[in-house]
Amino acid sequence: MHDGSGLIAVQNLTKHFGPVAAVQNLSFTVSPGSVTGFLGPNGAGKTTTLRMLLGLVRPTSGTATINGRPFHQLGRPGRVVGAVLEAQGFHPRRTARNHLRVYTAAIGVPDAQADQVLTLVGLGSAADRSVGGFSLGMKQRLAVATALLGDPQVLVLDEPANGLDPEGIAWLRNFLQSFARMGRTVLISSHLLAEVEQTVDQVVIVSRGQTVYYGPLEQLRQQQQRRVLVQPSDIGALAGALQAEGVTAIEQLPDGRLAVSGVDSKHVADCALRAGVSIYGIQEEQVDLEQLFFRLTSGQYAGHVPAPYQQGGWAR
Amino acid sequence: MGSMNDLVQAELRKITTTGLWWGLLIPTVLVALGGGLLSGGFGQLMIEFTTSAEAEQLSDVLGVTPDQWKFSLLGIGRTINIVTLFPLVFGAMAVANEIGTRTITTTFLTAQNRAQAMLAKLLVYALWGAIYGIATIAAVALGVVLTSGSSQMPGIGDWAMLALACVLASILMTMFGVGLGALLPNAAGVVVLLIMYFLVIENAVQFGLRLSGTPETVVGFLPNGSVNGLTGSVVVDLFMAKAGVVPEEGIDFLRIIAGAGGAQAWWLSGLIFFAWVAASFGGGWARMTQKDIT
């Protein structure tokens, strides 16, 4: 039987669909007590990886385990791991409650659990309606309810925000965080970092079927260099003064401001004062994780965009 | 094996929480009732014809006893053959529907393994096959009772044998459908294929053989020929047991009418069709336990 650790371990996981390598030699672990984001552009192999973890797709090589065991050795998997997957469906003419009762039976938990999870996800009043008439957001809530039926220790969610309204996303965020705080494991995939940035503590970033970053989100944030955005009265004078002080990472933005990297705003302001340049506005740029994420995962599809920023001619 | 019981319970709920099973039960009962009415009526008509003065003279000359022939039996056999197409379709939807609605993902996520999930499905659908079979024979019997006199009524023993063949055929057809629906998991495609095969293709083959004068024995080894042989041979046996004298050349004709042309004995036909069921379910099983669910 499984070890009850709540640990997800993916080791050297590889999957080929014919000639296409969907996942290549992927390795990472997910620990209980935190929400882990599984990030990468569409087509990076996220869904295939999650499906291998859940025993739905057979790996070409490598292993994926939950609680130290492959999915099919978990015994009663519905009581260990709950999953919300994109391609998971409902019979359109079955009511929400009946849908859940099919799976309370399969998992072997009391039927009362069906009504409990319906209330939990806010579908209590729609229990006797056929799922065919549900909105995308309601279906997604029902999928979450289904995943929770067996009171699992581990939750795996594939792009759960798809179809959810802002209210639903906020609810899901709070729910997942409190779920993780109970010492359980949450693995949630998304192709948008911004979508899960406020939810996750750890991230696994994949691109082209391979892991490109794996660790705390905080650490990723610190990797990003800060920039000071300043609007001076005389761009040339300020840039010259900064360069004279050895600050070379200066960039002119299309809106006429300067972006100065590697120094703080106080340094820039002092330098401007000494050079006799007025400053109309100055701010330290928020850490732009999305850009970092994009840089980590770029190149999967060879699309090029024009780069006007580089035409400013300032030393970089 | 607590998990197996749970999966059986889950499969039962899948069936009872949607309308497909009674949606197919309605035509099952209606066609069975209609077939029963026609069978009884046809038998009654034949008996009135054969007991007319001229016919009696003729049969006396030929040394046959048509006034004892229970023609209704032949119609009953044919009716059962046709009606078992409904449980066949019902079975075919078992897996194909789950693939279509993508509930198969949740089914596999909540089962210990796919083999158990498939086995639970097979057991529950076999039970539902029996329910269709019982409904069929009951509706046929009602139809026959309403339209035929006592001389055309099969006896209690006959009915027991007919019920056995009917329920068995219905269970086997359902299981055959479950297997094929897993092997070709496209609900519309598999239903069209099965109906075309059982109603048209194999009958066309049989008709072709008959026209060319080739023995039809091969048909008794095909899916439709063998399952029809199961009920058809029972019917012919029952007919012959009470028929007194029947001319030799008439027997083949009777078999064709009863749907047992070219078929083996009822039990052997049943075994042959069971082999087809095993092949179909084995194929579906292999497909579903190996398939990547994406």
pLDDT tens readout for residues B44-92: 888 777 777 777 776 776 666 666 778 888 899 999 999 999 999 999 9
Checking if the pLDDT of B281 tops 90, the result is yes
- Reference A56, options B105, B145, B137; nearest CA is B105
- Measured between beta carbons, the chain A residues lying within 8 angstroms of B19 are 93
Q: What is the pLDDT of residue B57?
A: 73
Q: How far is B183 from chain A (nearest CA, A)?
A: 17
pLDDT at residue B288, as a whole number: 94
- Judging contacts by C-beta atoms under 8 Å, the chain B residues touching residue A97 are none
Mutate to test the interface with B, among A102, A128, A151 (most CBs of B within 10 A): A102
Q: Which of B70, B264, B255 is closest to B157 using CA atoms?
A: B70
pLDDT given at position A301: 45
Facing residue for A87 by CB, picked from B18, B105, B290: B105
Cβ-contact A126, A90 below 8 angstroms: no
Q: Does B108 touch chain A (CB under 8 A)?
A: yes
Span between the terminal Cα atoms of chain A, in Å: 58
Chain B hits for A54, CB-CB cut-off 8 Å, are 109
Would the pLDDT of B1 be above 60? no
State whether A76 and B109 contact (CB < 8 Å): no
Burial A7-33 (b: 16+ CB within 10 A, else e): bbbbeebbbeeeeebbbbebebebebe
Q: List C-alpha distances in Å: B137 to A67, B14, B143.
A: 53, 26, 10
Please give the pLDDT value at position B62: 67
Contact status of B22 with chain A (Cβ, < 8 Å): no
- SS3 at position A274: helix
The model carries a pTM of 0.85
Q: Do A106 and B103 touch (CB under 8 A)?
A: no
Q: How many CB pairs under 8 A join A and B?
A: 94
- Which pLDDT value is given to residue A315? 38
Question: Smallest Cβ distance to B10: which of A56, A75, A106?
Answer: A106
pLDDT digit string, tens, across residues B153-200? 888 999 999 999 999 999 999 999 999 999 998 999 999 999 999 999
pLDDT score of A225:
67
The CA distance from B140 to B41, in Å, is 12
Q: Which range has the worst mean pLDDT, A182-196, B198-212, B236-250, B275-289?
A: B236-250
Give chain A positions within 8 Å (CB) of B102: 87-89
Give the 3-state secondary structure of residue A75. Answer: coil
* Strand pairing report for A20-30 and A8-17: antiparallel
Q: Are A101 and B97 a contacting pair at CB < 8 A?
A: no
Mutation target for B interface from A91, A113, A134: give the one with most B CBs within 10 A.
Answer: A91
Write out the H or E segment, with its range, that includes residue A158.
strand A154-158
Helix (H) or strand (E) holding A239: helix A235-244
Vertex A102 angle, CA A96 and A107, to 5°: 120
CB B138 within 8 A of CB B170: no
Residue of B nearest to A148 (CA): B110
Each residue's pLDDT, cut to its tens digit, for chain A (316 residues) gives 788 888 999 999 999 999 988 999 999 999 999 999 999 888 888 999 999 999 999 999 999 999 999 999 998 999 999 999 986 789 999 999 999 999 999 999 999 999 999 999 999 999 999 999 999 889 999 999 999 999 999 999 999 888 788 888 888 999 999 999 999 999 999 988 888 888 899 999 988 778 888 889 888 877 766 788 899 998 889 989 988 888 888 888 888 888 888 788 888 899 999 989 999 999 887 656 777 777 777 654 444 444 444 333 343 3
> Which residues of chain A does B293 touch, with a Cβ-Cβ cutoff of 8 Å?
51, 56-57, 87
Q: If you measure CA to CA, which chain A residue comes closest to B99?
A: A89
Quote the CA–CA distance of B244 and B129 in Å, as a whole number: 35
Q: Which of B3, B109, B294 sits opposite A108 (nearest CB)?
A: B3
